[in-house]
Amino acid sequence: MSSGLGGLRLAGTQTLALARRSLNNERRQLVSIMPGLVFPLMMAAVYSQQFGRALALPGFPEVDSFLSFILPGSIIQAVSFGGTTAGTELALDIENGFFDRLMASPVARVPILLGRLGGTAVVAAGKASFIVAVFLIFGVTIKGGIAGTVIIIATAALLVLAIGGLAQIMAIRTQSQEAVSATFPLIFVSIFMSSAFFPTALMSGWYQKLAENNPITWTIDPVRRLVIEGWSASDALQSLGVPAALAVITIMGAVRTLNTKLKAG
């Protein structure tokens, strides 16, 4: 029993150490974080001016402003910019040989993956907090209160874990930063093919079906209700549950891919 707890404690220490390394890398490259903040804010400013009259359309949710409606989408857009960082960092470590040194050290396999994911999740939470603060300055009210705000930020961090796990699978299989980075456009497009910036009820045809069955929509819709309607335990659970389930799937996939790769030599 004590040896099992000791192993978990050691794995936790290793994960935290590698997470700090990931955060230090992000800190040294602050310029790379800026597009993930500036672009969504610019898009939000444009959307609020161009599509504000959409609020009068029959079937459009009752909101105080278009900014309130697109806050969840803007957050998801912001964190998606760094979503693949855990994968690109892993690919870089594989390319420069640091990964081989890690594998030869006493570090367990899972912390190697979780450490990078933890670092990107912390950065995502910081981005989400910044976006929320800017929207609050411009008059948006999160009717779910402080609890709703915490759920929104936590949802962003969990979604990045899901994206990061997928990116790590790509990194292990391809061992190429370029290949991992190439997945970002697909993630970015999937945001627009969701309810991020327009309600699915006012869409039509195949686009509506695609948006309704998009996991990003399943995540954004309950988050949006926390913003425009108020606190709901069921919405909070769905907001956290969908990205958490996706994160478990992709991270387990990354661990399995890593084990398969190491067994194959």
Give the separation between CA 77 and CA 6, rounded to whole angstroms. 40
- Residues sharing a CB contact under 8 Å with residue 69, sequence separation 6 or more, in sequence order: 55, 61, 63, 224, 228
pLDDT of residue 1 exceeding 60, the answer is: no
- The pLDDT of residue 264 is 74
Who wins on pLDDT, 88 or 211?
211
113: tokens are: 């993956």
Question: Tens digits of per-residue pLDDT, 168-208?
Answer: 999 989 888 888 888 888 888 899 999 999 999 999 999 99
User: What is the pLDDT averaged over residues 89-98?
Assistant: 82
Mean per-residue pLDDT over the chain, rounded: 87
- The pLDDT of residue 16 is 82
Q: Hey, what amino acid is at 158?
A: L
Question: Tens digits of per-residue pLDDT, 210-235?
Answer: 999 999 999 999 999 999 999 999 99
Q: Hey, what amino acid is at 146?
A: I
Give the separation between CA 85 and CA 17, rounded to whole angstroms. 17
Give the separation between CA 143 and CA 141, rounded to whole angstroms. 6
Q: What is the CA radius of gyration of the chain?
A: 19
pLDDT band at 10, cuts 50/70/90?
A: low
Q: Return the domain boundaries, the chain.
A: 2-53+61-264
**Can you give the pTM of this predicted structure?**
0.88
